[in-house]
Structure 1
Amino acid sequence: MQLDRPAHRRATRRRRLVPGLAALALATSIGILPGSPAQAEPDIEDVEATVDRLWHEAEQASERYNDVELELEGLREEMTSLEADRERQDDQLDVVRERLADSVVSEYEGNDISAAGQAFLSDDPGAFLSQLSTMSAYSDFQDQLYTDYATEAEALDLRLSATEKRAQQVATLEEQLAEEKATIEERHGEAEALLERLEEEQREKLLAGDTSAVPTNVPASGRAAAAVQYAMAQVGDSYVWGAAGPDAFDCSGFTMMAWAQAGVGLPHSSSAQYSSGTRVSQSDLQPGDLVFYYSPISHVGMYIGNGMIVHAANPGAGVKVDSVNAMPYVGAVRPG
């Protein structure tokens, strides 16, 4: 049933007001609005929800940062290769230039060198090519030299253009890294500021969360056994943005290092890890499988059996054991 227009507008206003009122109530409860009376006992459930949201936004930015770093690493490697190609091409162009200059000097030996001949001896490829078109009656050998020179000059120009393009892409990605880093720090700072407003007992309760019992034995076979063993040994370690051990991890750094113990290389990115193995359904999960969360993917953990995962959760909980459905489930892959 459709609402009439006035009723529809009223319903729309109510939907818009509800989130704002909720945010206002939270801000008032923890005393962050100017002139509002600060209360000693903020609603811990509201604070917990806000802190979880801020940590998740920080993790999303952190995983985007990891993605950009991977792309930047590839671009820098490509630039190194392009610069080496450019230097080789430059050397080849010098060789052809010298051969062509020797040919012109030989032909005009004993005579004044024409403007076109002087162009041959120029270090400016553009001047050479523009003047060369006015010359005529060259031998087959000279024609071939011209063709070689034009080919090498064009190849050099292509390499210079490609190198410049990659350099611009690197600069753009470095700007993105700075932006994502600023977002991480901002969200993390907001979460810490909220936590500091809680009494110590409430803060410890919030950070402890609902920690599941850590299994004493996780059955795993093959290379997965080494990955699971390493992962379980890190339970209790800290969560730090961008970290990959030995005593602190972010989510993708944690799974990357765990599978590295089994000789399997994974990228330091949850979204990239989702493309680094064989997809498996949730009903077919085995210990060692990587499980991914949120859309777009921004978190990864390791399945350990019995409907549980081990993962680097957030700065408050660190590395811990959780239910496989503790977060919005997206899919799973089996590395190796």
Structure 2
Amino acid sequence: MGKRRKPSPPSRARLAVLTTAVAGGAVLAAGTAHAEPTPTLASVKEQVDKLNDEAEQSIERYNGFQAKQQSLQADATRIQDKVARGQEAMNELRTRLGAVAGEQYRTNGIDPGIQLMLDSDPAGYLERAAAQNQVVEGQTALLKQARDEQRRLDQDRAEAAAMLTQLDSVGASLGEEKKQVQSRLAQAQALLNKLSAADRARINAQESAEKAKAAAQQAAAADRASRSADRPAAGPGADATLPSPSPSGSGRVADIIKFATAQLGKPYEWGSTGPNTWDCSGLTGAAYRAAGVKLPRMSQDQWNAGTRIARGDLQPGDLVFFYGDIHHVGIYIGDGKMIHSPRTGKNVEVLPISVMPYMGAVRPA
């Protein structure tokens, strides 16, 4: 039987080839395991819309905290001014009380009966004593005034301290909501950045088309307003993109819609009340203010600022609200459409009210 030959060790060249192949396979496998698929336009749009919706909810809370902060700041300034005036009055009373105390110290050393016995002019002394009784009564009134003023001053100081504490709390909440908004908008932008160049180009083209449409709507509205604010409803062939106000509508309605149409094409900016950028409730509040009506800052509060209107009874100028928590609002202009300020990255536009979850309408008083 012949001897079994031992296999010869692989050559250095063969080892190098094998090592390279194994390493390459490992890298390929690792790359396959960790590679993130390119997100589709539809999936990104769904996530971005969700983040923008959440951001708008935070924006409305931010608006509420901001309005409350401004109100508290005004109240705090008023009560602090009141405290300052009260302190000035108290200082004046203390000066007068000090003078009274000094006079008492100088005159209270001798008993009044002894003074009468020793006085060379008893009749004159009795006259002086009667006058002194009047002085004492005046001192008593002064003391009571000082006590009352001190009590009011203490109450005002306590109220001012409580108000400043509340102001600090609201300021902290305002800052937290601002962080929430910025975080969600940053997440939305990060998702958009993951899109392919082709998808980003599609989105940019869509945004450009929307801006051009808004600009055309604004120009048409301006042209219509320049012709006549009271002309009859549009006839065949007229521009129906922006319906004219109802002939039965008041001058206030015309003012509201005229103001809103003048804002078409202006950018959305969260927390903004104009005049160059708007958020949703900032736009509706300014439009009504142009017609002499003051609305609350938040959309949820605007929801409670008038009479609820059934969808079938909508008229131009009515406020229309969307989503379960009423965090979005627009101005109805007729023909099933509204003017609204949508979200970050978009402009004030005309949109059918059917494209968002409709919750109801209000006609402010």
Q: Same fold (TM over 0.5)?
A: yes
Partner of 2:327: 298
Partner of 1:265: 294
Quote the sequence identity (%): 35
Whether 2:64 is the aligned partner of 1:67: answer yes
- SS of the equivalent of 2:34 reads coil
Partner residue of 1:307 out of 324, 336, 340: 336
Cα shift readout 1:59-83 (whole Å, capped 9, x = no counterpart): 1111111111111111111111111
Partner of 2:237: none
Whether 2:90 is the aligned partner of 1:93: answer yes
Partner residue of 2:348 out of 299, 308, 319: 319
Partner residue of 2:168 out of 156, 166, 171: 171
Cα shift readout 1:115-135 (whole Å, capped 9, x = no counterpart): xxxxxxxxxxxxxxxxxxxxx
Write the distance in 1 (CA, Å) between the matches of 2:273 and 2:358.
Answer: 23
Write the distance in 1 (CA, Å) between the matches of 2:139 and 2:55.
Answer: 65
Write the distance in 2 (CA, Å) between the matches of 1:165 and 1:102.
Answer: 36
* 2:40 and 2:195 in contact (8 A); partners too: no
Partner residue of 1:286 out of 298, 315, 324: 315
Letter paired with 1:153: Q
Deviates more, 1:68-77 or 1:247-256: 247-256
Cα shift readout 1:180-216 (whole Å, capped 9, x = no counterpart): 1111110000001101111244235457489799643
Structure 2 residue runs without a partner (length 5+): 1-31, 110-134, 218-239
Within 5 Å, give how 1:170-319 maps onto structure 2: 170-203=167-200, 205=202, 208=206, 215-220=240-245, 221=249, 222-319=251-348
Cα shift readout 1:267-307 (whole Å, capped 9, x = no counterpart): 43212322333332222111111111223221111111122
Distance verdict in 2 for CA 1:36–1:230, change over 3 Å: farther
Within 5 Å, give how 1:64-143 maps onto structure 2: 64-109=61-106, 139-143=136-140
Partner residue of 1:155 out of 146, 152, 161: 152
* 1:218 and 1:228 in contact (8 A); partners too: no
- SS of the equivalent of 1:108 reads helix
Matched residue pairs, number? Answer: 277
TM-score scaled by length of structure 2: 0.68
RMSD: 2.7
How far off is 1:234 after superposition? Answer: 3.0
Write the distance in 2 (CA, Å) between the matches of 1:191 and 1:304.
Answer: 31
Whether 2:85 is the aligned partner of 1:56: answer no
Letter paired with 1:70: A
How far off is 1:54 after superposition? Answer: 0.5
Whether 2:361 is the aligned partner of 1:332: answer yes
Distance verdict in 2 for CA 1:200–1:265, change over 3 Å: farther
TM-score scaled by length of structure 1: 0.74
* 1:302 and 1:309 in contact (8 A); partners too: yes
The structure with the greater share of residues assigned to helix is 2
* 2:48 and 2:188 in contact (8 A); partners too: yes
Write the distance in 2 (CA, Å) between the matches of 1:206 and 1:314.
Answer: 15
Deviates more, 1:59-68 or 1:320-329: 320-329
Write the distance in 2 (CA, Å) between the matches of 1:156 and 1:39.
Answer: 68
Letter paired with 2:97: L
Write the distance in 2 (CA, Å) between the matches of 1:88 and 1:325.
Answer: 57
Write the distance in 1 (CA, Å) between the matches of 2:341 and 2:198.
Answer: 24
How far off is 1:91 after superposition? Answer: 2.0
Write the distance in 2 (CA, Å) between the matches of 1:206 and 1:254.
Answer: 25
Partner of 2:29: none
Write the distance in 1 (CA, Å) between the matches of 2:293 and 2:138.
Answer: 57
Write the distance in 2 (CA, Å) between the matches of 1:35 and 1:246.
Answer: 52
Distance verdict in 2 for CA 1:35–1:106, change over 3 Å: farther
Higher Cα radius of gyration: 2
Write the distance in 2 (CA, Å) between the matches of 1:175 and 1:144.
Answer: 47
Write the distance in 2 (CA, Å) between the matches of 1:110 and 1:146.
Answer: 19
